[in-house]
Amino acid sequence: MIETIKEHLAEVERFSSTSSDEIETFRIKYLGKKGLLNTFFAEFKNVPNGEKKEFGQVINQLKSAATEKVNTLKEALENQVEPEGKFGDLTRPGEPIEIGARHPISIVKNQIIDIFSRIGFNVSEGPEIEDDWHNFTALNLPEYHPARDMQDTFFIQTDPDILLRTHTSSVQVRYMESHKPPIRTISPGRVYRNEAISARSHCFFHQVEGLYVDKNVSFADLKQTLQYFTSEMFGKSKIRLRPSYFPFTEPSAEVDVYWGLETETDHRMTKGTGWLEIMGCGMVDPNVLKNCGIDPEVYSGFAFGMGIDRIALLLHQISDIRLLSENDVRFLEQFKSAL
């Protein structure tokens, strides 16, 4: 029996494994309730008295060796560092995903598009690099026309006929050239003017211009359309139209909305009058229709245009227009809750 125990002792010393299942099987074999050690201890009473001392010593050696082997292998298994997979530890929690935010220009532009789409206006777009015909001449601004001085223009040096568009009215010209009335479209986009950059003006900004051409379109239709827009956009339904001048519309008007004088901010924005200018408008000049291939004897229309940047400054109480283009994350994160 003693020789059998010594053989198991040698087997314990030789055993090695990196498998948790094999180590557990080994533990049960020797140290479990029905393991070999308990069997050998049960045989102790049958051992002759002269061999009991040596028999007990060998059993204790086997027990210590088996216990030490199990503990050593388990500890090595726990400390083992598994090589990282292609994507690292897949059980780790993912990196937090920052919630993005729409730019205030996009927020206001989408609101304007949504409002006019409810009354049948579609969206038209055109190139930011334009030719003289679409940006000026077709809009009743022939070469050397004094009204061209109303806009300081970025011309392309290599070709004086090519420029950065000064308004999105050029998109309306292109749309009228390729579509027959009835026409009902708005043209949002970025425009460029050679102006000094300050808190209130920039050399590029965003406009949205609207155009409606059909039979028997009147100034009353224009006024009702703008009244609907101001009511939906600002929650203000009281507007006024002041006579003005634009080369491509006749008659022309500036549109003011009554903002009110309820707060100190209202007083500051409206300069104490309660009225706030938001856009220009007018009936499309017959020459413009003719230049675009539309018979002014049959059709008439109205047009309007507003600055998206100015409305964004107004609605979100932004004090400096330069903030809209400086990509300051601290500024942009304020609009996470906006639409």
* pLDDT value of position 240: 93
Which parts of the chain are beta strand (E)?
Answer: 122-123, 129-131, 155-156, 159-164, 183-192, 204-214, 239-246, 249-258, 275-284, 300-307
Name residue 301's beta-bridge partners: 213
Q: How many CB atoms lie within 10 A of CB 134?
A: 21
What is the mean pLDDT of the segment spanning 130-139? Answer: 91
Residue pLDDT, tens place only, 183-192: 999 999 999 9
| pLDDT over 70 (residue 81) | no
CA-based angle 279:199:112, to the nearest 5? 35
CB of 183 within 8 A of CB of 262?
no
Q: What is the pLDDT of residues 171-205, one digit of tens each?
A: 999 999 999 999 999 999 999 988 888 877 888 89
Could you tell me the residue ranges of all domains in the chain? 2-79, 104-335
Average pLDDT over residues 85-92: 67
Q: What percent of the chain is modeled with pLDDT above 70?
A: 94
- Higher pLDDT pick, 275 / 148: 275
String of b and e for 262-278 (b: at least 16 CB within 10 Å)? Answer: eeeeeeebbeeebbbeb
Residue 279's pLDDT band, with cuts at 50, 70 and 90, is very high
Which superfamily does CATH assign the domain made up of 104-335 to? Bira Bifunctional Protein; Domain 2 (3.30.930.10)
